Amino acid sequence: MTESSEVSPKAASEAIANGALLIDVREKSEYDDVRIPGSVLIPLGDLPARLAEIPTDRDVYVHCRMGGRSARAVDYLRTFGRPNSYNVSGGIDAWQDAGLPVDH
């Protein structure tokens, strides 16, 4: 893989503001507790069944709580025709640490 799949929360935030899609692969209970505004909840286990919902013509950013599940999701997405998929490094924890907005 020539292009890194990891991006900082700040870089992801800027891309999302410019029209990229943000997917949250945590569980619904985690999403209900705290979420990034505008994110789409697709729990990691549901990803194969919902692959058709993920565009091939847009950048896609994926996050979880700390970055482990989202890294697996990005590997999966890149394998199945979404080369413009990126992992938000550090997940929502790093997003909050960077002072970026969340909804409760």
How much is the average pLDDT of 25-40?
98
Strand, helix or coil for residue 64: coil
Query: Do 33 and 65 contact (CB within 8 A), yes or no?
Result: no
First to last CA, the chain: 36
Q: Within a 13 Å sphere around the CA of 97, how many CA atoms are in the beta-carbon half? A: 11
Residue of 64, 71, 73, 77 marked catalytic: 64
Average pLDDT, the chain: 95
**What confidence score (pLDDT) does residue 4 get?**
78
Domain with residues 6-97, CATH architecture:
3-Layer(aba) Sandwich (3.40)
Look at residues 79, 84, 66 and name the one whose alpha carbon lies nearest to residue 21: 84
Which helix (H) or strand (E) covers residue 68, if one does? helix 68-79
Question: Where does the pLDDT of residue 1 fall: very low under 50, low under 70, confident under 90, or very high at 90 and above?
Answer: very low
How much is the average pLDDT of 28-48?
98
Residue 64 annotated among the catalytic residues of the structure: yes
What is the tens place of the pLDDT at every residue in 50-86?
A: 999 999 999 999 999 999 999 999 999 999 999 999 9
For the chain, what are the domain ranges?
Answer: 6-97
Whether the full predicted model's pTM is greater than 0.85, yes or no, is yes
